[in-house]
Every structure is written in structure tokens, then in C-alpha cells.
A and B are shown apart, each in its own frame.
Chain A
Amino acid sequence: MTTPAGVAERLTSLVGALRAHGMRIGTGETVDAARAVGELGLADRELLREGLAATLLHGQGQRQVFDPVFDLYFPRGVGGPEQRSAGREDLRDRLADALTADDRATLGRLAIEAVDGFGGYGSSPESDGWSSYQALERLRPQTLLARVRDTIRGRGGSQGFTDRLLEDEVRRRIDVFRALVAAEARRRVAERRGRDEIARRAVAPTADRVDFLFAGQDRLAELRRTVQPLARKLATRLAARRRRASRGTIDLRRTLRGSLSTGGVPMKPVLRRRRPARPELVLLCDVSGSVSGFSDFTMLLVQALHDQFSKVRVFAFVNRIDEVTGLLERGRADPEGLSSRIQGEAAVTGYHGSSDYGMALGEFAERYADAVGSRTTVFVLGDARTNRSDPNLPAVRQIAERARRVHWLNPEQRSRWGTGDSVAPAYAELVAMHECRNARQLSALVARLLPV
């Protein structure tokens, strides 16, 4: 079984690009992938895509990175389409037809034409490129919605009950087209600038590596959907750790006492019994605009893990603090509306709307001191940017003294701590502060820091 020349090289650079995105792919998988290429041949691109995905990937989450990278290394074609398209209106007409018929193959061809005709910018060889944004801006496929809908209705293709689904369906078809245009623009750019660089830079990372602070609405929604699986994963890991920990250490005194009957030879090691611990968790979350995505996600994660603890209490603050444990429990089916519910139902802001850590933490130490005890682990979530107000270090010290452990999770890059109005270094001297920029880091931290 031999693979065509050049394919091996292309395959290894594909694997290299995937590895650069944090996927762990061993040589064994690469060899399997090459065998798959040998079995399937190169004629059918979609078969090849599925074959490589089956051999190289280990989970569905990786697919989102794999698909665009695959498009770069095994492109649909090279260069532009054979014939130039006639014009904007003509293209829009044909696009409307393809959307009406829901014809994926035609949509793919039209995406190529769209990028070729309207996505190019620049005139000198050094500065030109291809932009999906520009192509979509000129074509405005979203404005075809009404037209496509009316055409379908006019043909009687959708009557009665299903008519009300039509609009959403057309919208989804338009989204498909937009994604096709983006992929095509990426391919054209890659042709010019070299695949490896584009594969590294232009492919969106998997959800768990998106920075909390820079994630847009759709990425956050996607991230929220990963909460349940992530919680399950963490729960297994915690259970395993608990099992190991319960084996305990040797109790020397009782081992020696037991050895008296065997003449001082310790035949039976006696293990120290652990006192059954009942870990309690208190979460203090900054829910102000800048970090709400991060707090949101962490709150949901902790909520999903709640059966691991005897008690979980969650407090939210901007400049005043309020308990939101109840809101989280009731809203388990609706993670989307969480932050708006907190803003609406809990008293988290006072006279102004910007965050004030000193005030909020002080209020916590005063009003909810009984929430923290010797069995409690406290997590503080926030960027420690307190808008130049008093950080109130004594309050933090007070909380740290009462609690078993205090961990501060900061969604900002470590190098930015202390810049501007950030008082992170001052807090970091009192409690352990950890950088926590994405879901991957968060899950690693949670697995490490949570009490057994």
C-alpha cells in the first residue's frame, strides 16, 4: 500500500498544524491516516476528510479545528474559478435560487465566485489579499431572507404548520453560505501566504482555549454548552482523587503497637483513618460587564459540580454583594439568561455601575461572615480592577483567616496584573492568585484546587 508522492509530506504538515492547536496526535495515528489515504484514494475529498478525521481525532470537540485546517491542506481547488461571475445582482439572483433549493453544492460554488469577485482587495502583489468580510458585505446574503421565504411560499413548498419554521430554516441556510465564504477566503489567503502560517493563526481555537475576556456572544454560548460534559469529567477526576486519598498514610503508633504480638516485627501496617471531610465551597463572583462571561461560566460549572460538596454558596457583586445561590438552582435549564437574571433580581450595584472590590468584599466580610468557616474553601473570581477605589485589604485578610483556603482566579494575563487600576498584586500577597484565561486552564485549576 503506497501513498502518492507528496501526500505523505502534506499529511505530516497537516498533523503538525493540528498539534500546534493543542491536539495530541501520535505517530501511530499519522501512520493510520496515511493508510487511510491509501485505502480511500484522493478522488473524493469528503471521504478523505471523514477518513482522516476518524484516524486522527479522538473527540468531536476537535472537529471544529480539524475542518478548516483540512480545507487548507487539501483545498477544493487552486486559484480562482474558471470563469468570472457576471456581476453582483446576477450572483445574488443565483444565490437566492440556491438558498431556495437548499442546494449545498451550488452554494459551495457560489461561495468561490463570491470571494473571487468581491473579496479581493489591494492592487500590488505585496498588499493584496482576500476578505470574506468584504465579500459578504457587498453581497449581503442576509437581505435575501424575505425574498427566498416568499419564493418558497409562492411555490406552495411550505404550507400550514411548517410555514412558521421557514424563516429560521432560511436563516440557517444563509449561515451555511457565510461559513463557506469564510472557508474559501481562508484558502485563497493561504495560497498566497503559505498554509502553515494561516493554519496557525486564522483557524479559531477550540472552545476551551478561547479567552474568557475576548470571547464574543456566540463563543460564550458555545462555551456554556461545554459546562455539563466538563463537570462530568471533573467529577470523575475528583472521585478518583478521593479514592486515592482515602487509602491514607500509615499510622506508625498503631502499627508498632500491633507489632508487639509478633515480637516487634510490623506484620500488619495500620492505616491512618481520615476524618470524613465535608468540603464547603463559597464563590465570590465579579459580574460586572468586563468579566461576566468568565464568572458566568465558572458559576455554572460549580453549580454542575454541586453534588461533590456538602454545601455551595454563590455570591455575586459589582460594588455591592448579594447571594445568588437560589437563582442558579432555579435557572439550570437556562444558562443564557443567567447574567441578566442576576442583574435583575440581585442587589449587586449601588449608586454607580462600576466594580468596587473593596466595597463588595468589605460588605461580604460584614454581612456574610458566617458563610465562611474552617471547612470552607473560598474562590474569588474577578480581574481585581477596582476603578481606583480602596482595595480594602483588611476585609480580604479577614476572609482568608476564617476560611480553610482562599483562591483567587483572575481571567487576565499575568503580565497585565498591576497595570492601570488593577490591584491584583496587593491581593495576591494575601491569597493565592491564579491566572485563569480559558476553560482549559479553569478545568485544570478546578481539578487541582478543589478540596478532596
Chain B
Amino acid sequence: MFTSVDDVSARLAETGYLASPAVATTVFLAARLGKPLLVEGPAGVGKTELAKAVATVAGARLVRLQCYEGVDESRALYEWNHAKQLLRISAGRDETWDEARTDIFSEEFLLTRPLLTAIRGDDPKVLLIDETDKADVEVEGLLLEVLSDFQVTVPELGTITATRRPFVVLTSNASRELSEALRRRCLFLHIGFPDEELERRIVRLKVPGLDEALARSVVRVVGALRAMDLRKVPSVAETVDWAHTLLALGADSLDETVVRATLGVLLKHQDDVLKASAKLDLDAL
């Protein structure tokens, strides 16, 4: 899939995803070792985006399983199409038993869900298991079989094994501790906040109209906010939002008035806003 770590960076960059060396290295290894990739980090640093970018680069289909509380086997793996099965049974009312017993548990009546979809077929696929921490512990058990052997067992059909392994990305915001068994099957990647230079490049890429000097100031202010002890520090997504806002307002440099008026784009709690205002001397007029 990739020839080297630099190749990963370059090709991800073509799709508009600027990867840090840590990200590029881990993606390269995941592809080479054929292991799932567990990505953790705060919200809004591009965990899901990474999976999408890899899919684009590899020309693969993105199969996404969005986890939530109560997601279960029938949502994650497969389901039998009961309506169709009933139709099949009632359609054959005049048949003899030998004719009627044709299997209603065959591929025709199977509804594949993301996990099964991802391991069937020969086309390249990227399986994204998003917000794994939101799912119940039981689902992890399900994932273990899929992630270690890339196979799914359907009792009526037998075991279905992947002929072509998908590239798997699991994301987590660490709102629940994932089990040790799951972690062992994955390569671990933590995406934190990017360093100043990378973030500036990201902002410039996503908000092309912004001039270099302003982008630099934006990133520096965000960096200062992150160094404060806030309830929710701004993430990359918020930096980009802020840059868009400034552009829309036609601000060509930062001053107290502009920052005070737009701080709400970056900070999502009132006490954070107050704290940041105090530290940045926004109240002193």
C-alpha cells in the first residue's frame, strides 16, 4: 500500500490531510504489519479524518461502524432478513416438503452490516470503527474475533474469513477504558495537538484566504490557550473555525476587540472564557 513513511506523508497530504511524523509512521506500520490501528486523542484533532484520508489514498471503500450505547451484533455484524424469509416460506405454500426446505438461511437472506461487509469481497476496504468507547463492553468481545483473525462466524453459514484484509482504524475519545485484550490487538496511536508549524500549515490549507501573518497569530493564540488550565481546550477543528470566522469578519490582524468578540468560537464554557480573558488581559481597557 505504501512504500515508505515519507510516501505516507506525501500521499496523505495530497488528499488534504497533513500528518505528523508519528501519524505517518504508525499508518505505515499498520499497513505493513496488517494490524488494526487504535487512534486516541481529544475531539477534533482529525481521528476520523485520518481513516477517510487513508481510504482516499488507497482507493479503498470506507466501511464505517459508528458505535453508540446499545450497538449490538445485529447492527455491527449481520442480520437475517426476516421479512424476506417469511415471504419465501409463504410463497412456497403448494410445494412438497423437499422443495420447501430450500435453505432460508442462505446468503440471499443475509443482511450484512459493517463488520461483515468489511471482510467480504476482494475490493480494498478501510474499516472505520468510530468512537469505540461509546459501545458496550460486549461489543468489544465481538470485535476481538474480527480484529485478530479477520473472520466472522455466522452459525447457519459457518465461518467467513477475509480473503483480503481491510485496513482497520478504531477511534476512541477515551470516555471509557477499552479492554486490554482489544488494545493488544492494535497498534496504538495518540493524536495530540499538532506543533505550531504543522498547525499553521493545516490552517493555511483549510482556509486558503488567510494571510500568513494572521495564520501565525491565530496559531499562537490557540497555543497559549492550550497552555492554560481550561475545561475544554480548543482543538484543531476549532482553530480552523476561528480562522474562517476571522476571514469572514474581514479582520486582517488580531486585536483585543476581535479576540474578545470571537472567543466563543474557540472556547465552549463560560468559565473558560472568563479565565482566558483574564489571562490574555482582554478586560483591561
- Hey, which bits of chain A sit against chain B, CB under 8 A? 24, 26, 28-29, 32, 35-36, 39-40, 44, 46-47, 50-51, 53-55, 57-60, 63, 102, 160-162, 164-165, 168-169, 172, 229, 232-233, 236, 240, 333, 336
Contact check, B254 vs A32: say whether CB atoms are below 8 A apart. no
A-facing residues in B111-129 (Cβ within 8 Å): none
Q: How far is the CA of A145 from the CA of B124 in the complex (A)?
A: 54
Question: Nearest-CB distance from A183 to chain B (Å)?
Answer: 18
Question: Nearest-CB distance from B195 to chain A (Å)?
Answer: 9
Question: Nearest-CB distance from B136 to chain A (Å)?
Answer: 10
Q: How far is the CA of A361 from the CA of B172 in the complex (A)?
A: 45
Of the listed residues B187, B253, B281, the one surrounded by the most CB atoms of chain A closer than 10 A to its CB is: B187
Q: Within the complex, which residue of B33, B188, B217 is in contact with A36, where a contact is CB–CB below 8 Å? A: B33
Indicate if B175 sits at the interface (CB-CB under 8 A).
yes
Q: How far is the CA of A236 from the CA of B183 in the complex (A)?
A: 17
Report, as a range, how many residues of chain B touch the other chain. Answer: 35 or more
Contact check, B33 vs A160: say whether CB atoms are below 8 A apart. no
Q: List 25 A-B contacts (CB under 8 A).
A: A32-B35, A35-B33, A39-B28, A39-B33, A40-B5, A44-B5, A51-B29, A53-B188, A54-B25, A54-B29, A54-B187, A55-B29, A63-B190, A102-B196, A160-B217, A160-B255, A161-B259, A162-B254, A165-B221, A165-B223, A168-B227, A169-B223, A169-B224, A232-B175, A333-B271
A58 / chain B contacts, CB cutoff of 8 Å: 180, 183-184, 188
Q: How far is the CA of A229 from the CA of B187 in the complex (A)?
A: 21
A26 / chain B contacts, CB cutoff of 8 Å: 184
Question: Nearest-CB distance from A40 to chain B (Å)?
Answer: 7
Q: Within the complex, which residue of A44, A57, A160 is in contact with B188, where a contact is CB–CB below 8 Å? A: A57
A60 in contact with B224 given A29-B184, A161-B259, A236-B177 (CB within 8 Å): no
A172 / chain B contacts, CB cutoff of 8 Å: 227
B280 / chain A contacts, CB cutoff of 8 Å: 164-165
A165 in contact with B176 given A53-B188, A54-B25 (CB within 8 Å): no
Of the listed residues A29, A164, A336, the one surrounded by the most CB atoms of chain B closer than 10 A to its CB is: A164
Question: Nearest-CB distance from A275 to chain B (Å)?
Answer: 27
Q: Within the complex, which residue of B22, B177, B187, B221 is in contact with A232, where a contact is CB–CB below 8 Å? A: B177
* Chain A-chain B contacts (Cβ-Cβ < 8 Å), number: 98
Contact check, A46 vs B254: say whether CB atoms are below 8 A apart. no
Q: How far is the CA of A165 from the CA of B223 in the complex (A)?
A: 9
B227 / chain A contacts, CB cutoff of 8 Å: 168, 172
Indicate if B82 sits at the interface (CB-CB under 8 A).
no
Contact check, A169 vs B220: say whether CB atoms are below 8 A apart. yes
Contact check, B32 vs A39: say whether CB atoms are below 8 A apart. yes
Contact check, A162 vs B25: say whether CB atoms are below 8 A apart. no
Indicate if B21 sits at the interface (CB-CB under 8 A).
yes
Closest to B197 in A: A102
- Hey, which bits of chain B sit against chain A, CB under 8 A? 5, 21-22, 25-26, 28-30, 32-33, 35, 40, 137, 174-177, 180, 183-184, 187-190, 192, 196, 217, 220-221, 223-224, 227, 229, 231, 253-256, 259, 269, 271-272, 280-281
B229 / chain A contacts, CB cutoff of 8 Å: 336
Question: Nearest-CB distance from B256 to chain A (Å)?
Answer: 7
Contact check, B188 vs A59: say whether CB atoms are below 8 A apart. yes
Contact check, B21 vs A47: say whether CB atoms are below 8 A apart. yes
Contact check, B190 vs A55: say whether CB atoms are below 8 A apart. no
Contact check, A50 vs B26: say whether CB atoms are below 8 A apart. yes
Contact check, A160 vs B253: say whether CB atoms are below 8 A apart. yes
Closest to B280 in A: A164
Closest to B20 in A: A50
Question: Nearest-CB distance from A440 to chain B (Å)?
Answer: 14
Contact check, A240 vs B5: say whether CB atoms are below 8 A apart. no
Closest to B25 in A: A50
A55 / chain B contacts, CB cutoff of 8 Å: 29, 33, 187
Question: Nearest-CB distance from B242 to chain A (Å)?
Answer: 14
Closest to B253 in A: A160
Q: How far is the CA of A40 from the CA of B217 in the complex (A)?
A: 36
Question: Nearest-CB distance from B173 to chain A (Å)?
Answer: 11
